[in-house]
Structure formats: structure tokens, C-alpha cells
Structure 1
Amino acid sequence: MDRDEELRILDRALEHLRDKRLPLTDTDTRVSVDRYRSPEWYRAELDRIFTKLPSMLVHSSEIPAPGTFATLEHFGRPLIVSRDQDGGAHVFLNACRHRGARLEKDPSGERRQFICGYHAWRYDLDGTLAAIPSPHCFPGVERGKRNLVALPAVEAYGFVWLMPEENPGRADLDAFLGDFLPDIADLDLSSYEIYGAESQEWEINWKLVVEGTLEGYHFPFLHAKSANPLFENSTFFFDSFGPHLRSILPKRSINFITKTERSERRLLSVANVIHTIFPNETVLHQSDHFLWITSHPLGPTRTLVKLRLIVPKGSVREGSVEQWEENRQLTYQVQYEDLEIYREIQIGLTTGANEEHCFGTQEFALQKYNEAIEAHLFGE
């Protein structure tokens, strides 16, 4: 982050600290609850958002060396993300080109080749068909021709991104990030690695997970004994970068920053910075590490939630396991408190108690987020 921008954000944080009634907008707003349960709305999100925009599949540290791979499901398609012998990252459909059997069943690992368990067709790490048993039985199949199906992918800013077919390149990724690009690049996430990954399916709509990171209004109540003692109430604010958002959640330590010379003030010493990468990724910057949250929809009311700490590369091996484990436990406790509330909300949506959600003036980021979704669904 640019130093002048950092100081401007700190000044805004102090303004919100001085006036805790400072609104983020003039009025409260409403959105229909149908967007959290409607199969038609969900289908439109898949067709017009998730298949049209880049997706963050894995952190680069999850495939750290040639031969390493990770597998995942992405909207019904099984994928392999692998690193070839030259260090390049690839994304393939996890399906053998013989009869379509799942090629790699392990969630991650290291291979010299990918070998189908059905008929032992072999593929190199770059997806090239390397060998088949009894090749004389396949006179029409040339080695090196019937390769794994590759999907457009870009490795950048610490992640491997699955790109849409119509916009497959690095320039397209940068265009997608737009004015948010300097913030994401400055995080230097390629210098970090994953620690403590957890995944769990929840009976909730995927947007509830993202929205929970876009306001601090609930902290004194839901997180009274966990996170709230660390943060200053009613001081949350944000900026928009196209559909992406950067939110600031000041800590109680901000009360003492005025005792520090302006030139010595640092944002991350007194606040968490939350980067919302549209539509469903959250990267929360906490002083010297990050929390990465993925809200992956499986249906209108079912979501796979992935939680991962991203810590300095090598710090776990250097003896900081206890530090990171203590941090992980508190951080994930807060997330699971949120997820339980989202589950209750989703149940509440079936009762007919509300036809719309009401966002208050301190929840303005939720309105901006939903406006971005509507812009993609219905046009500007």
C-alpha cells in the first residue's frame, strides 16, 4: 500500500474513532431474501458471475515444487492443479482421456507422472500423454496428442487463478483486479505459505460468508468473548475498487496511536485490513500474516467454506508452530461463531419472517457488495 494512502486511511480511522456515530451512508437499505435461497438466482450467479470471472484455486505454496499437485472440485468439474518440471503451473480436468476415469484421487501430493488407475494411461506433469499399455490396440491415438484437457490458468500474486475461456491471460486478470491490483500486489503473498487449512460444508448461502466480513456491527454481540476485546467498536469503514472492497477494522490499540509520531505510524499495528476479491474470496491481513476465506457455492443453500492461514514462508519450520496454532485456534473460533449464525439465518429465511434484509448505515459495504452482484447479473 502506498505510504500516503496508508496515512490517509489512518486519518480516517481516527475520525471514526472520534465520532463513533459517523455513518457510512445516509440511509439504511433493503435487499430481497430471494437472493439467498432462490435456485433461479443461484443459476444466474453461476452463469453470469462464476463462469465469467477469474477464480483463486490454490495458493502457490500448495504446489511448491515440480511434481507437486492439488485436486479440487470447481462447480462440478474435478480439477488437478500441478507444477511441471520447468516450474510452470497448470490446471487440468481430472479425467483420463481414455474413458474419463478420475485420474488423481488424492487431495495433494507429488508425482513423476499422473497414472490412471483404470487402464494405466500415463501423463506427464504438463498434461502430455506419455504412454498407454498395448498401444497397438489404439492405432488412432498418438502419444503426445490425446493430452489432458488444459484449462486457462494464470499464476500471479501468490495464487493460481482459473481464468474464463474468453479472457484467459495475465492481462485479463490484471484488468479484472483493476484499481485493486496495487493493493493485491503489495501484499507479496508469494512470500508466504499455507498453514492449518480446514474445509467444511454448511447449509448456508455463499454470500452470507462474504457479507459477514463486511461489517463490524456484530462484533460486540456475537464475538463478545473472542474477537471483540481486540477491536474498537463502530469504527469499521471501507473503499470500493470496482466490485472489490478494502475494509478497515481498527483495533483498540488505535487509541494510543496519537502518542506516536505521524511518520512512525503503521496501519497494521492498529487495524486489520480485509481484501474482498469479488465475488467470493476474502484475504484478511493481520499484522504479519493473513486469513484466506473461500466461500464456494455448492447450491443455493449449501456452501463449502475453506479457511487457511497464510504465514511467512519457512516460519513453521523455524519453530513458530505454537504461535501459529494459537493464532489459528482463535481466528477459526471467530469464523465458526460466524458460520453458526449464518446457518441460523438460512433457517430463518425459510420461516417467512422477512421478505427482505435490512442493512444499516454501518453496513453500507453490504449494499455495495450486493450492487456489484446485481451489476453482473442484470448489467450496469
Structure 2
Amino acid sequence: MQHVTQVELLKRTLALVEQGVSDCVEAPSALPVDVYLNEERYRRERDEVLRCEPLLVARSSEIAPGHFITRDLLAPLLLTRDEQGRLRGFLNVCKHRGTQLVGEVAGRNRVFVCPYHAWAYNPDGQLRGIPHGYGFEGIDRACLNLTEVPVAERFGAVWARHSEGPALDLDTFFGEQILADFDSFALDSHVLFDPQDIRRPVNWKLTIDTFLENYHVAKAHQATIDHLFWPNLGLFDRFGRHIRNYYVKRNLREILDQPERDWDLRRHGNLLYFLWPNTLVLVEPDHIAFSTVFPDGPQATRVLGHTLLPEEPATEKALRYFQKNNAILYSALEEDFALAARVQKGIQAGAAGQLWHGRFEQALRWFHQGLDEALGDARVEVMKPKSTPQVG
């Protein structure tokens, strides 16, 4: 991150320490529990939001020139890169009878032959051949090519839309501040470490909710990460529908003995980015963890996670260090999943019609407001701030 931004955020943090409060908005808010339970709402989130936005689906390094990978996410995807490095994305579906075309996870480009009736496609999505083609005379062959979906690369990652649409404009999508922050992390040169594929029986939004506030850390993470963090102290900034949180560590006061030129934001807290609509990025002092959250049905979540390291661990000691760090991260995530499952049961019991967001849980409000705006369905209710009594 640019040093001027680091200094600005750390000064804001020190001011909050002096006040003894976290960053807050003007009033609490409430959210109806049916946004987690209603199946029609889930289908609209999937079809009208998640399938229509750029989603992180792979690291660029996973697709070498002349190779392909497949991803079975909100739709089956086939991603190919030609020998010149051009990346293309398709729905991994044969146009004849809708069969999944390519079954392998990855491999070298080739003519892709459907396992059902042997229709054949080139890696550029063009239909190559139809056995007994006379049976399909009169059909425009252009409409039988694979359905292409827009893809683009940024931050060393592949972003894809899960449906047809215009080319992705990631500069506009992320905006100036997110681009500045992430470009400063130099992610293109990082290496992939410890990919994860986790499925749990909770609504996908409950999974994201657990990342977006640190109010729960003191109680829920006593055994894992609580000792590292200042109780319920954070900064929260919104950039369009993207969110940047800064969760402060207990070593913050060390900077009081340092000149500003030596201040290091990542040493004294963790940055947590929510990249609309479903990617969470945890920036730690010497590595960065990505978690992309997909609904796996109305009441189920799939999290694709991976860690980025500045370089391959050069020694066994370095390897054990990063393995230990990830073990702590995923242990904390399992604690969050366990609590999310308890929330799921609680809201299904009908004990209350709404859940509450405190003034320092504003990132939760922003996330759900973003979904409301995208769906044209305002469900977040912001409480009116209490007026201060006038004296005299």
C-alpha cells in the first residue's frame, strides 16, 4: 500500500485509541432474517448478481500458454489460453444436448470432443465437426459454437462472468482506490500456496458476514487469534460496493516510538478487503489470503481459498512457518463456520424477524445494502440517530 495511505490510516487508528472507540457510523441498522432463508432471494442473488459480475475464478499462473482449466462454480467454465497468451472463457457445455464438454480439471489444449455424441470444438470455442452432420442441415453453425463469456486478468488473477455479456472493464469495476492498493501489493509476482475448497451448510452471506466485523473476535476466537488483536477496534471504508477494513493489532503503540517514514500498516494490523460481490482478501504482514465465497444452494456455502506468498518457501523452516500461519487462519474460519451454523439454526427457529448491526458493524450494512441496490430490493433498515438534548 502507498506509504501516504498507510500513515493516514494509522493516524486515524491512533485517534480512535485515544477516544477508546472503534470507527462508527451514525446509527445501528437491522436486516430481515428472510434474506438468509428465502429461496427466491437466493436465486435472484445467484442469477441477477453473482452470475452477472466479474468473479475471481483462478490465478493467472494456473493457465499456461497452450493449456486449459475447468471450473464448476455458478456455471461450468472452460478457460483456455492460446500459445500467444490470449485467454478466453466459455461455458463448458456442448451446444448439441447440453452435456458438460470437458471433464478434466486441467490439461493441454486440444480438440475437445463431447463424450455424448462426439461433437468437436477447437480451443477457441469454434465448432470443428459434427458426426453425421447431414442430420443438422439448416442450422446456422455459428450458433453452435461454445458460448463465450467475458474474462480479464488483474492482480495476477482471472476474473470471469458466468454468463454472456460485454467485455469486462476491471479498471472501472474496481475503481481508483482499490486499484492503487492492490497494485502496490505486486500480486502478479506472488506464488500460489495451499489452495482450499471448503463446503459448509450455511447461507453464503453468513460466511461473508463473519469476515466483515471484528466485534466477535474476543469471544469467538479466544483459542486462535484473539491474543493478536485490539478488542473491537477497526477502520472501515467503502469504495462503491467494495469495502476495506483494518483490524488493529495489540502492538499498535510501537509506532509512537518510530518516525512516520518507518510506519508499516501491515505490521500493526490486518487489512481485510471485500471485493464485490464475493471475494475476501486478508492482507497479513508477509502473505495474502484470498477467499471467494459461492452459494452452493440456498443454505450451503462453498469457499475457494488460496494464499499468495512473495516467493516459494526456500527452506523447510519457511515452509513450516507458512503452514502454521494457514493452520491458524483456517482454524479461525472453522470457528466462524460453527457460529454461522448456530446462526442458521437460530434464524430458522423464528425467534426474531430481524438481525442487528451495531454502529461499528457498518461493513455488514454496506455489504447487504450493495445486494439490495443490485436487486432493487431495499431490506436494510437504518435506525434514526437519537438527537442530543439541548441544554438551556
| Counterpart-to-counterpart distance in 2, 1:139 and 1:190 | 48
Partner of 2:34: 34
Judge which range, 287-296 or 56-65, deviates more: 56-65
Distance 1:85 1:121, change over 3 A: farther
**Which residues of structure 1 form unaligned runs of 5+?**
none
Partner of 1:225: 223
Partner of 1:244: 242
Q: How is 1:195-214 mapped onto 2 (pairs within 5 angstroms)?
A: 195-214=193-212
| Counterpart-to-counterpart distance in 1, 2:296 and 2:162 | 19
Judge which range, 190-199 or 216-225, deviates more: 190-199
| Counterpart-to-counterpart distance in 1, 2:36 and 2:212 | 17
Q: What RMSD in Å do the two structures reach over aligned CA positions? A: 2.7
| Counterpart-to-counterpart distance in 2, 1:145 and 1:25 | 52
Q: Which of 333, 336, 339 pairs up with 2:334?
A: 336
Q: Which of 153, 173, 177 pairs up with 1:176?
A: 173
Three-state SS of the structure 1 residue aligned to 2:296 is: strand
| Counterpart-to-counterpart distance in 1, 2:278 and 2:140 | 41
Q: How is 1:1-380 mapped onto 2 (pairs within 5 angstroms)?
A: 1-74=1-74, 77-130=75-128, 146-163=144-161, 168-171=166-169, 173-179=170-176, 180-312=178-310, 314-316=311-313, 320-378=318-376
- Give the drift of 1:341: 0.8
- Give the drift of 1:351: 0.8
- Aligned residue pair count: 376
Three-state SS of the structure 1 residue aligned to 2:303 is: strand
Does the CA contact (< 8 Å) of 1:62 and 1:70 recur in 2?
no
| Counterpart-to-counterpart distance in 2, 1:149 and 1:22 | 48
Judge which range, 242-251 or 143-152, deviates more: 143-152
- Give the drift of 1:285: 0.9
Does the CA contact (< 8 Å) of 2:150 and 2:164 recur in 1?
no
Three-state SS of the structure 2 residue aligned to 1:212 is: helix
Partner of 2:384: none
| Counterpart-to-counterpart distance in 2, 1:346 and 1:146 | 43
- Give the drift of 1:111: 4.0
Query: Cα deviations across residues 242-301 of structure 1 (Å, max 9, x unaligned)?
Result: 111011011222121211111111111111111101121111111222111111113332
| Counterpart-to-counterpart distance in 1, 2:249 and 2:64 | 34
Distance 1:48 1:139, change over 3 A: closer
Distance 1:122 1:192, change over 3 A: farther
Identity across matched positions, percent? 30
Does the CA contact (< 8 Å) of 1:193 and 1:311 recur in 2?
yes
Does the CA contact (< 8 Å) of 2:149 and 2:164 recur in 1?
no
Does the CA contact (< 8 Å) of 1:27 and 1:361 recur in 2?
yes
Distance 1:23 1:285, change over 3 A: closer
- Give the drift of 1:135: 6.6
| Counterpart-to-counterpart distance in 1, 2:49 and 2:321 | 38
Does the CA contact (< 8 Å) of 1:72 and 1:107 recur in 2?
no
- Give the drift of 1:152: 1.6
| Counterpart-to-counterpart distance in 2, 1:167 and 1:119 | 29
| Counterpart-to-counterpart distance in 2, 1:102 and 1:289 | 36
| Counterpart-to-counterpart distance in 1, 2:364 and 2:82 | 41
Judge which range, 184-193 or 240-249, deviates more: 184-193
- Give the drift of 1:304: 1.3
Length-normalised TM-score, structure 2:
0.87
Query: Cα deviations across residues 218-238 of structure 1 (Å, max 9, x unaligned)?
Result: 111111110111212121111
Does the CA contact (< 8 Å) of 1:57 and 1:161 recur in 2?
yes
Length-normalised TM-score, structure 1:
0.89
Amino acid of the residue matched to residue 67 of structure 2?
G
Distance 1:46 1:170, change over 3 A: closer
| Counterpart-to-counterpart distance in 1, 2:110 and 2:337 | 40
Three-state SS of the structure 2 residue aligned to 1:307 is: strand
Distance 1:290 1:296, change over 3 A: same
**Which residues of structure 2 form unaligned runs of 5+?**
379-392
Amino acid of the residue matched to residue 183 of structure 2?
A
Three-state SS of the structure 2 residue aligned to 1:69 is: strand
